[in-house]
Amino acid sequence: MRIALKSPLEIEAMRRAGRVVRQTLDRCRGLARPGVTTAQLDQLAWETFTAAGAVGLFKNYPTYEEGQGFPGHTCISVNDEVVHGIPGPRVLCAGDVVSIDCGVRFDGWCGDSAITVALEPAPPELRELIRVTEETLRLAIRLIRPHLRWSDVAGPMQQYVEQHGFSCVREFVGHGIGRRMHEDPKVPNFVSPEFLNRDDFYLREGMTLAIEPMVIRGRPEVAVSADGWTVVTRDHSCAAHVEHTVAVTRRGCEILTNGN
Ligand code: MG
Ligand code: MG
């Protein structure tokens, strides 16, 4: 495993990519309401980051050859869809839990972030699912500092989710990010024996990571649906997913996708 450390100038360039992602997700959040289709959200995202001069990282992923790979500009995952949902004609309804994931490259550097919104009126248990997922990400961001191992952060993230009676997705994890969307290391939201034995790493100043808790109301098992992309919960309970790209600093970390 080789983890590339970024210079302050490189981190500043990633922050510019992060600003475009933030602007895109903010506009999508503003449009997300009952009666809107996921394709409309996807179109708005594409228009927003394209107007800003950025290129989307999801369309045609992973080969980026025209007509191949992922069909959307964003991933939009509704209710029992966890991640990698394909935007399309689905009309959103009140009570839906909608996660929108957006990644762009701007001036050669990547940003990746996701939000989950409940379309009101939504039942309190779904708002609680989203609150816990967001708080899990905030917890990680508060804990990160050099010389800790990632498992020192992932353990408390998992504990926080499970304390609330929810489950962490095991099959998908966060990742290093930089000139490419997916770099080393793997950044899970839980601790497994395999991770402790093989993939755990020490946090160092200059690491740039995409941290993305995926939390399920019910059991942790997921499956990929027939479209080949959309990850759904096996028990059809709702899931939430939030993500920030962060840079490890001397004393902690800073968020690169919060619009600052
Ligand atoms: Mg993402
Ligand atoms: Mg990501």
CATH code of residue 58: 3.90.230.10
Rounded distance from Cα 102 to ligand 1 centre (Å): 6
Is there a domain that residue 49 lies in?
yes
Q: Which ligand is nearest to the CA of 181?
A: 2
Is the confidence at residue 82, as pLDDT, over 90?
A: yes
pLDDT value, residue 24 = 98
Is residue 3 situated within a structural domain?
A: no
How many Å lie between the centroid of ligand 1 and the Cα of residue 181?
Answer: 9
Q: What is the pLDDT of residues 123-162, one digit of tens each?
A: 999 999 999 999 999 999 999 999 999 999 999 999 999 9
Estimate to the nearest angstrom the gap between the alpha carbon of 208 and the chain centroid: 14
Question: How confident is residue 119, by pLDDT bands cut at 50, 70 and 90?
Answer: very high
Q: Computed over its alpha carbons, how large is the radius of gyration of the chain?
A: 17
Determine the distance separating the centroid of ligand 1 and the alpha carbon of 50, expressed in angstroms: 17
Q: What's the CA-to-centroid distance between 112 and ligand 2, angstroms?
A: 6
- pLDDT for 251 beyond 90: yes
Separation of 248 CA from ligand 2 center, angstroms? 16
Domain count, the chain: 1
- C-alpha 67 – ligand 2 centre gap (Å): 22
pLDDT score recorded for residue 146 = 98
Token pair for 67: 């007509």
Residue 204's domain spans which residues? 8-255
User: How much is the average pLDDT of 92-109?
Assistant: 98
Report whether pLDDT(228) > 90: yes
Identify whether 180 is part of a domain: yes
> How far, in Å, CA of 162 to CA of 195, rounded?
19
**Are 221 and 235 contacting, i.e. CB atoms less than 8 angstroms apart?**
yes
| Å from CA of 132 to ligand 1 middle | 18
pLDDT tens digit string along 175-216?
Answer: 999 999 999 999 999 999 999 999 999 999 999 999 999 999
195 phi, psi to nearest 5 deg: -65, -45
Ligand 1 centroid from CA 26, angstroms: 15
Cα distances from 234 to residues 12, 225, 239, in angstroms, run 41, 10, 11
* Confidence at 1, pLDDT banded by 50, 70, 90: confident
Predicted local confidence at residue 184, as pLDDT: 97
Provide the mean pLDDT of the chain.
Answer: 97
Residue 190 within a domain: yes
pLDDT at 83: 98
pLDDT at 100 exceeding the cut of 90: yes
pLDDT at 2 over 90: no
**pLDDT for residue 47:** 98
* Cis, bond preceding 8 (omega within 30 deg of 0): no
- Give the mean model confidence (pLDDT) for residues 230-243: 98
Contact 103, 243 (CB under 8 A): no
Is 42 among the domain residues? yes
Distance of CA 210 to the CA centre of its chain: 7
Closest ligand to C-alpha of residue 210 is 2
Residue 2 belongs to a domain: no
Residue 240's pLDDT band, with cuts at 50, 70 and 90, is very high
CA of 165 to the centre of ligand 1 (A): 25
Amino acid, res. 208? T
CA of 101 to the centre of ligand 2 (A): 8
Ligand positioned closest to the Cα atom of 174? 2
Q: What is the pTM of this model?
A: 0.97
Q: What ligand has the least distance to the C-alpha of 58?
A: 1
